[in-house]
Amino acid sequence: MSSMNNFALDAAIKEAWRYQFLTYPNPAVGAAVIVKNRLFVSAHKKAGEPHAEVNALWEAYKAFFDAPPLTISHEIHEFLIKNHNGFFRESNVFVTLEPCSHVGKTPSCANLLKHLKPKSVTIGWLDPISEHSGGVEMLKSAGIEVNVLNDKRCYDLIEPFIKWTNDKFIFFKLAQSFNGAITGGYISSESSLKWVHQIRDKIELLVIGGNTVRIDRPTLDARKVNGKSPDVLIYSKEKNFDKTIPLFSIPKRRVFIEDNLEKINDYKFIMIEGGERLYKKLKNFVDWKVFIVTPKIFDRINYKSEDEFEILHVERRDDLIVFGRSND
């Protein structure tokens, strides 16, 4: 299988991005299986749930055979190992990240593949965590053809994971109209607002500017998805706030009001929600920028800065969600 023919990997990458950040503390991973001339694509969706390749293999199996409604990873592993009956022998598997060799919350994916014995496994990026790696060797020892691509796009997918595992990962979220307007009420679509709540349910700390708190009086919770509310750092020189603002009365939430960002070092996964002032100040401090761009042009002034970034991915929903890496 040559690297010229990785449209299946493209599909796996695209699928993985749909769950970027939502797999915290796990990495975003996608997988595809071509079996009996059909293409099945899936992703890891949430920590504790099946890994990407298990989801894709299971989708493929269920498309051809009657199968019980399993959702728990070790049950799917066991079922497939017992019942695959050689079904995957001529299949080609694509995974954005090396299949895990270790047994954690879920069983080892390399072990599962060893039993299913597909014709080939194409891997976008090797596992950066040494205790997880070894998947390639397990597959090779089972006689499976393994192709390791070192595809930078697969590294991009797991960069947040690498950062929050080793230290911390910080991204700036900014919602804008297509022509750069960011003020004057909600700009994003309802589905983007819901996505922001999904993200808030995963992050540990939300950083926000003092003016936003004073003017918008936001709650900064994850109510749209019944999620948990992150701790909040109000980045402000002025320490005096109206404490009846709902964000101060969320149970178990800690709220800090600071004129510096030191508190960030106590957290692993941090989102900054801000406007022009905070963007100008922190644009080179953050790892990634996430722009929610609405396909509307407003008769309102834009935010301004001097900045470039590398586009990593564009997710098309009702709005565009543009993931960018800060240039150093």
Report the residue number, 16 or 205, with the smaller CB distance to a second copy: 16
Q: 287 in the Ramachandran plot: left (φ > 0), alpha (ψ -120 to 50) or beta?
A: alpha
- For 308, counting Cβ atoms within 10 Å of its Cβ (0-12 exposed, 13-18 middle, 19+ buried), the class is exposed
In the bound state with a second copy, the residue whose beta carbon lies nearer, of 103 and 301, is 301
**Tokens for 189?**
């679509």
Minimum CB distance to a second copy, residue 91 (Å): 7
Q: Is the dihedral of CA 115, 120, 123, 127 positive or negative?
A: positive
310 part of the interface to a second copy, by CB under 8 A: yes
- Residue 299 binds a second copy, judged by CB under 8 A: yes
- Asked if residue 149 binds a second copy (CB under 8 A), the reply is no
Cα 104 to Cα 50, 109, 308: the distances in Å are 11, 10, 39
Alpha-carbon dihedral of residues 73, 162, 191, 313, nearest 10 degrees? -110
37 binds a second copy (CB under 8 A): yes
**CA torsion through residues 175, 180, 181, 182, sign:** positive
Between 60 and 232, whose beta carbon lies closer to a second copy? 60
Stretch that binds a second copy, among 122-130, 189-197, 212-220, 298-306 (CB under 8 A): 298-306
Residues 98/127, Cβ–Cβ less than 8 Å: yes
> Which of residues 92, 108, 111, 122 is near a second copy by CB under 8 A?
92
User: Quick check: 204 and 270 in contact, CB under 8 A?
Assistant: yes
Q: How far is the CB of 36 from a second copy (least distance, A)?
A: 8
Positions in 41-80 near a second copy (CB under 8 A): 41, 63
Q: 159 an active-site residue? A: no
In this complex, which beta carbon is closest to a second copy, that of residue 24 or of residue 323?
Answer: 323
- Does 10 bind a second copy (CB under 8 A)? Our answer is yes
For position 5 contacting a second copy by CB under 8 A, the verdict is yes
- Nearest distance in Å: CB 155, a second copy: 17
**8 touching a second copy, by CB under 8 A:** yes
By rule CB under 8 A, what count of residues binds a second copy?
A: 49
Task: Note whether 298 binds a second copy by CB under 8 A.
Answer: yes
Contacts 24+ apart (CB under 8 A), 79-82: 80/112, 80/115, 80/116, 81/112, 81/115, 81/116
Which of these is catalytic: 53, 159, 204, 273? Answer: 53
With CA atoms as reference, report the closest residue to 224 among 254, 188, 256.
Answer: 188
Q: Do 193 and 15 touch, CB atoms closer than 8 A?
A: no
| Positions in the binding site for a second copy (CB under 8 A) | 1, 5, 7-8, 10-11, 32, 34-41, 63, 90-92, 119, 176-181, 291, 295-311, 314, 316, 320, 322, 324
